[in-house]
Amino acid sequence: MQPDLTGKVVVITGASRGLGRAMALGFARAGADVVVSSRTAEACEEVAAEIRAVGRRAVVAPCHVGRWSECAHLIDRARATFGRIDVLVNNAGIAPVAPALQAIGEELFDKTLAVNLKGPLRLTALAADLMPDGASVINISSRASTKPTPPTVVYAAAKAGLNALTIAAAQEFGPRGIRVNAIVCGPFRTSSFTKALDGTVDEHALTDRIPLRRIGDPEEIIGTALWLGSAASSYVTGALITLDGGA
């Protein structure tokens, strides 16, 4: 059964590809209108056209979530168009790697923290003012947040911070009826995942460590996202829900 989000307004960052695109189309098929956001308008427009093709409204709102002022512009666009936000999906993220701590530069560190943590914090704070009772924030975290490795340490730290933000924001906004949860993702077959492999990781060895013995398909995040965004999960907040094939 697919949760009904008819008439709900959903804002999704990083919505032009991968998990973000899958969720944007999934919410639209469930009846929601979607504010499609990523760094480039052209990429957003392609997804928006797909949403309109299923009969829902789509608004393109380019935003670099690592920039404080652009986060405000994104929320202002949602306010001007719809007047409210029922679901915010903080999906945009970057995952640069470095071979050792000594190889991590300040620019890489600052950019990774800005996109993966500063942006979601700012957007959540701003969106809450437009959220009615029953609204939902969904943060897209990573298994790296709980199982860091040396190459992913900065990304892992940022996502661990996102987990902390999820729990703290759930406490702050719970009395207003706003729920905040995170999906802690394992590997999904997205373009960024393929690029990250870059021939340096044996995919068979990776899947051997996953009980379901495969990499996730982007479509497989939709059910969890719709559940968290709908009244079906009305008593769930502050939760870190792992979606990793059992790894």
222: nearest Cα among 6, 19, 13, 1 = 19
Give the pLDDT confidence score for residue 71 in this predicted structure: 98
Catalytic (active site) residue 235 = no
pLDDT tens digits for the chain (247 residues)? 568 899 999 999 999 999 999 999 999 999 999 999 999 999 999 999 999 999 999 999 999 999 999 999 999 999 999 999 999 999 999 999 888 899 999 999 999 999 999 999 999 999 999 999 999 999 999 999 999 999 999 999 999 999 999 999 999 999 999 999 999 999 888 876 666 666 556 677 778 888 888 888 999 999 999 999 999 999 999 999 999 888 8
Contact 45, 52 (CB under 8 A): no
CATH class of the structural domain 9-242: alpha beta
Tell me which of 27, 155, 173, 188 is the catalytic residue: 155
Contact call for residues 221 and 22 (beta carbons, < 8 A)? yes
